[in-house]
Amino acid sequence: MTPAEQSLKAAEYCRLAPVVPVIVVDDLAHAAPLARALVAGGLPVLEVTLRTPAALEAIRAMADVAGGVVGAGTLLTPADVKAAKAAGAMFGVSPGATDRLLDACAEHDLPLLPGAATASEIMALLERGYTVQKFFPAEQAGGASYLKSIGAPIPQVSFCPTGGISLKNARDYLVLSNILCVGGSWVCPRDKMAAGDWAGITALAREAAALRG
């Protein structure tokens, strides 16, 4: 799968909802009900970060939830890419980009949202064919104003910014022409997950899904 093909698929997923939940799963038992709650609230695209021992099994469990599009976040190495694909991930997300990681995604046919934070990084990825990228860490790297500015000289690239984005500032990004969606963890807080408050998470998801309404 070429970078251009990966970006086409990534764009398709990013356009399904204005917010992609960035999920950290500590307890595997939470995976399926969490996915059902988020999908029910209108957020079908789910990024499960590879930050916990339960992450890969969580991807497997979520992949069986009807209506969900489950991906793996925090991809750092080719081994991460291979494991994520084997677990059923439909896309990947990385905080940055290396040649080895990009090559692995091409080899394993895994659509990638590669991370970039500077004009040079964005240009290097565009040179390889990635027209859809993750902007990370969004707030710390310049926020919505930076992305608005970068859109003038590099209009070919669209972004899914993540990092420091919440319900309070999500619209600042979503109104920009080069933003397809945003990523955020506020729709799946750990306290609600621990309490099994799936109805509460569905309510947060509905609120987030309405941001572009």
pLDDT tens-place values along the chain, 213 residues long:
999 999 999 999 999 999 999 999 999 999 999 999 999 999 999 999 999 999 999 999 999 999 999 999 999 999 999 999 999 999 999 999 999 999 999 999 999 999 999 999 999 999 999 999 999 999 999 999 999 999 999 999 999 999 999 999 999 999 999 999 999 999 999 999 999 999 999 999 999 999 985
* Distance in angstroms (rounded) separating the CA atoms of residues 119 and 121: 5
pTM higher than the cut 0.95? yes
Instruction: Based on the residue annotation, tell me whether 127 is a catalytic residue of this protein.
Output: no
CB-based burial label for 145 (10 Å; 0-12, 13-18, 19+): exposed
The one catalytic residue in 47, 85, 139, 192 is: 47
* Distance in angstroms (rounded) separating the CA atoms of residues 212 and 144: 16
**Cis ω on the peptide bond leading into residue 33 (within 30° of 0)?**
no
> What phi and psi values does residue 3 have, to the nearest 5 degrees?
-55, -40
The pLDDT score that the predictor gives to residue 212 is 80
The pLDDT score that the predictor gives to residue 213 is 56
* Distance in angstroms (rounded) separating the CA atoms of residues 38 and 47: 11
The pLDDT score that the predictor gives to residue 69 is 98
Query: How many CA within 13 A on the CB side of residue 114?
Result: 30
Beta bridge partners of 20: 183
CB-based burial label for 168 (10 Å; 0-12, 13-18, 19+): exposed
Instruction: Based on the residue annotation, tell me whether 134 is a catalytic residue of this protein.
Output: yes
CA 32 to each of CA 25, 37, 51, 93: distance values in angstroms, whole numbers, following the listed order: 11, 9, 18, 21
* Distance in angstroms (rounded) separating the CA atoms of residues 58 and 70: 10
The one catalytic residue in 12, 121, 134, 168 is: 134
The percent of the chain in helix, strand and coil, each rounded to the nearest 5, is 45, 15, 40
Under 8 Å between Cβ of 176 and 147: yes
